[in-house]
C-alpha cells in the first residue's frame, strides 16, 4: 500500500510546480500617432508644386489682319505658293503656274521648307541684290541650327516666298488651324488667308498679264 501512496504524492508536487510556472499575458502598450507633422509636410509639398508647376499655355494663333485701306502690291507668281483647303479637307498646293499637288497635313511643313529653300537658291542664281553671295551656306547652317535667330533673320530676308492660304466656304475650321500650325512650324513669315474664289480670280488675272504678277494685299 505504501508504494501506491507514493505515486499520488509525486503527482500533487508536480501540479504545484506547474501552477507556479503560469505564463502571464503581456499588457499591450497603446500607440498614438501624431499626424500633425504629416499635415504640415503635405501643405509644404502642395505649395512647392503650385509654385514650380508650369501650367499649360493657351494655344492661339496670332494673326495681323490688314485694314480696308491696306494697299495691294504685285508679287511675281514664282514667289507665290498657293495652298488650297477644299471642302472635303483635302490640301493641294502649287507654286506659280505649276500644276496642283496633294499634300497631307503632316508633310506640309516639309513642303514649305523645301520650297523656301528652292526660292532662295533660285534668286541666288539670278543674282538678286538682296540675296547674299553665301546664301546656300547660310541656309545649310540654319538648317543645322534652326534656333539661331541671326541665321533665321538672314533666311527671312533672302526669301521672298509668300504663302496664300485659299480656304473654301465649307472647309472645316480645324483644317485651317492645322494648316496654320504647320506654316508657323515652318517659320513662314509672309502669308495671307483668302477665300478660294478670290485666289482663283487672282490666278486667272495673273495668267492674263504678260509679266505673271499677282496682286496680294498687305505684302511688301
Domain that holds residue 89: 72-217
Which range among 98-112, 160-174, 198-212 shows the weakest confidence by mean pLDDT?
198-212
The answer as to whether 97 is a domain residue is: yes
Instruction: Tell me: pLDDT of 26 over 80.
Output: no
Give me the mean pLDDT over the 87-93 stretch: 90
Q: With respect to residue 27, please indicate whether it lies within any of the assigned structural domains.
A: no
Whole-number Å distance between alpha carbons of 166 and 185: 19
pLDDT at 61 over 70: no
Residue 117 lies in a domain: yes
Look at residue 96 and tell me if it is in a domain. yes
Question: Rounded mean pLDDT of 69-84?
Answer: 78
User: Does the residue 151 lie in any domain?
Assistant: yes
Sign of the alpha-carbon dihedral angle for 211, 65, 157, 140: negative
Residue 89 domain-assigned (yes or no): yes
pLDDT beyond 80 at 58: no
Mean pLDDT of the chain: 77
Least trusted range by pLDDT, from 158-167, 175-184, 202-211: 202-211
Is the pLDDT reported for residue 69 higher than 60? no
pLDDT at 15 over 70: no
Q: What is the pLDDT of residue 85?
A: 92
CB atoms within 10 A of CB 11: 9
Count of structural domains, the chain: 1
105 assigned to some structural domain: yes
User: Is the confidence at residue 64, as pLDDT, over 70?
Assistant: no
Q: Is the pLDDT of residue 18 over 60?
A: no
Q: What is the pLDDT of residue 137?
A: 84
Q: What is the mean pLDDT of residues 200-206?
A: 78
pLDDT at 215: 62
Interval 28-53: pLDDT, tens: 777 777 788 888 898 899 999 888 87
**Is 82 within the bounds of a domain?**
yes
Q: Tell me what pLDDT residue 220 has.
A: 39
pLDDT of residue 147: 78
- The CA distances from residue 115 to 7, 35, 108, 121, 215, in Å, are 117, 66, 11, 10, 20
H helix count then E strand count, the chain: 7, 7
pTM (two decimals): 0.62
pLDDT in tens, 129-170: 878 788 888 888 877 887 778 877 887 778 888 888 999 988
User: Is the pLDDT score of 65 beyond 50?
Assistant: yes
Are 100 and 84 spatial neighbours (Cβ–Cβ below 8 Å)? Answer: yes
Give residue 217's pLDDT.
58
Amino acid at each position: 500500500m505504501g508504494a501506491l501512496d507514493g505515486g499520488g504524492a509525486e503527482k500533487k508536487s508536480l501540479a504545484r510546480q506547474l501552477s507556479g510556472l503560469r505564463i502571464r499575458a503581456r499588457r499591450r502598450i497603446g500607440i498614438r500617432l501624431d499626424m500633425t507633422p504629416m499635415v504640415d509636410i503635405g501643405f509644404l509639398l502642395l505649395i512647392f508644386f503650385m509654385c514650380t508647376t508650369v501650367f499649360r499655355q493657351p494655344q492661339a494663333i496670332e494673326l495681323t489682319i490688314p485694314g480696308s485701306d491696306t494697299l495691294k502690291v504685285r508679287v511675281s507668281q514664282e514667289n507665290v505658293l498657293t495652298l488650297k483647303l477644299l471642302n472635303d479637307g483635302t490640301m493641294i498646293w502649287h507654286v506659280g503656274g505649276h500644276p496642283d499637288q496633294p499634300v497631307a497635313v503632316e508633310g506640309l511643313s516639309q513642303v514649305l521648307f523645301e520650297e523656301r529653300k528652292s526660292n532662295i537658291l533660285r534668286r541666288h542664281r539670278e543674282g538678286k541684290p538682296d540675296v547674299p553671295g553665301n546664301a546656300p551656306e547660310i541656309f545649310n547652317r540654319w538648317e543645322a541650327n534652326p534656333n539661331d535667330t541671326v541665321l533665321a533673320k538672314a533666311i527671312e530676308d533672302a526669301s521672298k516666298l509668300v504663302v496664300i492660304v485659299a480656304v473654301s466656304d465649307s472647309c472645316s475650321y480645324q483644317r485651317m488651324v492645322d494648316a496654320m500650325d504647320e506654316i508657323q512650324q515652318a517659320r513662314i513669315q509672309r502669308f495671307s488667308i483668302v477665300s478660294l474664289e478670290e485666289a482663283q480670280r487672282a490666278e486667272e488675272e495673273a495668267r492674263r498679264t504678260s509679266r505673271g504678277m499677282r496682286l496680294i494685299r498687305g505684302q511688301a
